Structure 1
Amino acid sequence: MAATTWSPTSSSGVDELLFRNDTVSLCLLVNRRHRTLRIIDFRAGPTPSKRDFVLATAKREGVEKIFTLVERDEVSTWTRLGFTREGSIPGFYKRSDAWILGAVVSQISAHLRDAGHGEDDEGGEDRASSPSVLLAERTIARARRLLRESEGRPLPAIKIAPASGAELRRAVVAVQRAGRALTGFEPFGRDAVRTGYALSARGGFCLHAAWEMQSCFGNSFLEILTSPRDESERLATTAAIGALCDRLVEERAVSTFTFAPADDHELCAALLANGFRRSAVLARHLVVGRSRKDAILWAKKLVAPAA
């Protein structure tokens, strides 16, 4: 018989649902802000009850996007269940990548009619011409033009200071009112420990950011609270991201990754300037203000993993 257990964490904005029976063992992390559901699968295999439970839970909880992170040998399992390979997180498991497979709940039913098909080992359909990928490519092209136009302009000096959980929450509330919050600093993984910072520069610039680390793998999930609105803020954000990456290296992080709206050329330019690379395009993955947006996953290798 199946057993389910809720572990609500209302202060973090994420609820955890555990599901186990003789053939399936899952943990589902429901992000209320972005209406996404991350699947953590403890038992391999394309079990129909796994697919059915995930989809039923997503619909019941009002989730719009579901996704999972797996190693390469499990990619075909999830494509057979109707998921699309959206990209990867380089070095997520220190010496190997995590592949991201996702599905938009309103669109997945058609893919599930033939759940036994789609066994391509590389996973999923060709997304090169999908609307989300084309949008990301246009945004990146515009971001590169911005970098060329501002080439040679100095970056401001950045002051970086620790920020408590209470300070981060106050910052989130303030920018939410303006519809600018990219995140609420919700956990990405289980039992997450989050480190927060406030970064400032002359002229009134202030940016809050945080990361979540998995020390066993050396990866880190970096979150920026707000996007730059003009060139001045972009240059300051570029310097702030650089300062955060330097601090991550000090903390012995091997790699880092972050999400940005796929139409946000200013933030994308700041990430490109710091050596981040696009490694995935996630359909309908973020909510900013009242708008649901595609997302680009940006990743950066910080140091070589220790032997």
Structure 2
Amino acid sequence: MAARAWATATDKTENGNGSSTRKSAGGDGAIFFQNDAVSLCLLVQRRSKTMRVIDFRAGPTPAKRTLVLALARREGVEKIYTVVERDEVATWVKLGFAKEGNIPAFYKRSDAFLLGCSIDDAPESKSGPPSSSQRVPVQSERRLIIQGGPSLARASIASRAWLDLERVPLDDVEAPADTTAYDFAEKTLIRAKKLVKEAAERALPAVKLSEIAEAQTRKPIGSALRSGRALTAFEPFGRGAIRRYFALTARGGFELVASAESQACFGNAFLELLVSPRNDSERAGTTGALKALCERLQADGTVGCFALAPSDDASLSAAFVYNGFRRTGVLQNHLVVGRERKDAIVFARKLANPADE
């Protein structure tokens, strides 16, 4: 059964003071901001304290960065990221984001690029805090569109917040060059490849795949969250996508819940597994489950798929490596597993040649 992660129909209400509010028919909880220079959609994932920025208007304006950081801090977000085409990478680097990876064939015939920024590491202006003459009140200069986000509504950013348009000169912002996260992920991959080699002669268990309703995922998600094993709660990755849920089982009591969020116009799928394997038997089951999921996605016409795994999890990484996934990036401070924030390895695999579609 398919469930829409984000509704596309909206109701728009003019408030008579230069602002307007739009409410999605699906109540997706996104935050929209729009004025003459900036048009953004911010997707906040409160469990993992991450926020994806979807930019509808190109260009490295300082107001864009200042606004994103202000809203992220107000929402308690710790990591901001964006997914863009190649020609927008330089823009987000200038805004203080670091290049963290790419997703092959995300746009069917072209790649997407992932750029991120940790709130604690967000660079400040070298020229110091702004003067009162540099600041403008949000209410008098901007149209704020808020969709969902009860904490944001309580804070009333439209009436209280002050945003500085010139606080961070773009030339003062440089992307970090620290490779520690990538070096650690590389060590994990070396261990994963060793596990794959050791298991090369063992047959994978036969895995049964069944598509299930979203309601059927609530109990296993709750159990995984309570035990601290949840890699995800299947939060939306994008807008206008279709999310499907799967139950995968094998002999010996193996059970796994997974989900795939797809955008038909691009032919991609974001693949998520609820939990990671804890032993050799579960790793074999997870490997077989990934194989079954990829076969289903390919049969459905998906061109490419991608997934995230904790950068310290060699067992889960081995399941991806076995199934032909390759590492295409490392997202720093991106996942929360239990109470621990972790880096995430981006795994990607092309399932079909776009020229054949």
Q: Check whether TM > 0.5.
A: yes
Partner of 2:163: none
Deviations 1:97-135 (A, max 9, x none): 10111000100134885522569xxxx4545xx221111
Partner of 1:175: 224
Report whether the alignment pairs 1:142 with 2:191.
Answer: yes
1:283 to 332, 343, 346: 332
2:205 to 122, 137, 156: 156
Report whether the alignment pairs 1:66 with 2:80.
Answer: yes
Report whether the alignment pairs 1:187 with 2:242.
Answer: no
The question of whether the paired residues in 1 share the 8 Å contact of 2:125 and 2:172 is answered with: no
Residue type of the alignment partner of 2:340: S
Q: Displacement, 1:171? A: 1.0
Q: Distance in 2 between matches of 1:282 and 1:134?
A: 13
Q: Distance in 2 between matches of 1:273 and 1:139?
A: 14
Q: Displacement, 1:57? A: 0.4
- Following superposition of structure 1 onto structure 2, how do residues 221-236 of structure 1 map, counting pairs within 5 Å? 221-236=270-285
1:265–1:9 distance in 2 versus 1, CA, 3 Å = farther
1:30 to 8, 31, 44: 44
Q: Distance in 2 between matches of 1:108 and 1:75?
A: 17
Deviations 1:16-61 (A, max 9, x none): 1000000100000001111100000000000111101000000000
1:107 to 121, 129, 133: 121
TM-score (norm 1): 0.92
Residue type of the alignment partner of 1:202: R
The question of whether the paired residues in 2 share the 8 Å contact of 1:5 and 1:19 is answered with: no
2:264 to 186, 201, 215: 215
Partner of 2:307: 258
Q: Displacement, 1:75? A: 0.7
SS of equivalent to 2:123 = helix
Report whether the alignment pairs 1:57 with 2:71.
Answer: yes
TM-score (norm 2): 0.80
Q: Distance in 2 between matches of 1:137 and 1:106?
A: 25
Q: Displacement, 1:148? A: 1.5
By relative contact order (CA 8 Å, sep 6+), the higher-ranking structure is 2
The question of whether the paired residues in 2 share the 8 Å contact of 1:209 and 1:222 is answered with: yes
1:32–1:150 distance in 2 versus 1, CA, 3 Å = same
1:107–1:151 distance in 2 versus 1, CA, 3 Å = same
Q: Distance in 2 between matches of 1:111 and 1:279?
A: 31
Residue type of the alignment partner of 1:229: R
Q: Displacement, 1:15? A: 3.1
Q: Distance in 1 between matches of 2:22 and 2:252?
A: 46
Q: Distance in 1 between matches of 2:29 and 2:313?
A: 28
Q: Displacement, 1:250? A: 1.0
1:224–1:59 distance in 2 versus 1, CA, 3 Å = same
- Give runs of ≥4 in structure 1 deviating > 3 Å: 1-11, 110-114, 124-127
2:29 to 2, 15, 24: 15
Q: Distance in 2 between matches of 1:182 and 1:254?
A: 24
SS of equivalent to 1:252 = coil
Structure 2, unmatched stretches of 5+, are 1-16, 127-167
Q: Displacement, 1:87? A: 1.0
The question of whether the paired residues in 1 share the 8 Å contact of 2:268 and 2:304 is answered with: yes
1:17–1:5 distance in 2 versus 1, CA, 3 Å = farther
Partner of 2:58: 44
The question of whether the paired residues in 1 share the 8 Å contact of 2:62 and 2:169 is answered with: no
Q: Displacement, 1:184? A: 0.5
Q: Displacement, 1:191? A: 3.1
Partner of 2:134: none
Task: Report percent identity of matched pairs.
Answer: 52
Q: Displacement, 1:145? A: 1.1
Residue type of the alignment partner of 1:42: F
Higher Cα radius of gyration: 2
Q: Distance in 1 between matches of 2:237 and 2:97?
A: 20
1:7–1:131 distance in 2 versus 1, CA, 3 Å = farther
